[in-house]
Structure 1
């Protein structure tokens, strides 16, 4: 029988700090069945646009629908890969260039499952989760809706 996991809160307000990432890693040292962690950090780029350089992205979401989509992705990953645990965090609100907006942390007894699950989860998030980003352009504060690539 497949284990059903309890839905977890994914959204955090503003950027995901390096301290938060570090504490997440440190909290797994006592879990001795884990042999590998794969960590993906999505960072805001200073892309050049027609109207200027991106200085931040402002994220919004249909939170209930998005939380459900994140949960479905977690369940698919646990069913598909040999995983010990998984954590997903995504920013809401404004995240400046250079800061982290997506943190995917996958743990497994073996590295191959961790690598493959991490890529699977990130691609599924980009394709299926209703999170929207408006890019803040330059000093004038103009916004442009971001397109996932």
Structure 2
């Protein structure tokens, strides 16, 4: 998805699941860009790039692993590419299942796997327009 993930996308995703009456729980993770201060400079945005073909393959593998490991009904993953300003959403992970524990555990699993394995790279853009590659923590 190019740019920030708009709140309307999140709301629509939730609304689209209201007709699925076998779902008893959803878990949602939203990654938001922080205005971190690094070496006296404040982050104003992160510009995401990816090895897109490989990223799509890894997203698919992670999603399939989650469905094998957890009794989920639905699973959606959206990650931004391009510039995303501080305060905006860059990652949206949405899991659904019959029970809350499964939805929460599956969502946590997905987020950790995405951060560890997906070849998406962030360049921190500072208020003075200088930049540096982000190091995930």
Q: Under a length normalisation based on structure 1, what TM-score does the superposition of the two structures give?
A: 0.91
User: Structure 1 residue 30 and structure 2 residue 19: aligned?
Assistant: yes
Runs of 4+ in structure 1 over 2 Å off: none
Which ranges of structure 2 fall in alignment gaps of 5 or more residues?
none
User: Structure 1 residue 86 and structure 2 residue 88: aligned?
Assistant: no
Partner of 1:14: 3
User: Structure 1 residue 134 and structure 2 residue 100: aligned?
Assistant: no
Q: What's the CA shift for 1:111?
A: 0.3
| 1:54-65 pair list within 5 angstroms | 54-65=43-54
Partner of 1:106: 95
Partner of 1:72: 61
Which ranges of structure 1 fall in alignment gaps of 5 or more residues?
1-11
Partner of 1:52: 41
User: Structure 2: how far apart are the matches of 1:74 and 1:43?
Assistant: 21
User: Structure 1: how far apart are the matches of 2:99 and 2:133?
Assistant: 39
Is the 1:51–1:137 contact (alpha carbons within 8 Å) kept by the matching residues of 2? no
- Identify which of 128, 132, 135 aligns with 1:144: 132
Partner of 1:117: 106
Q: What's the CA shift for 1:51?
A: 4.5
The number of residue pairs the alignment matches comes to 137
User: Structure 1: how far apart are the matches of 2:94 and 2:65?
Assistant: 15
RMSD: 0.6
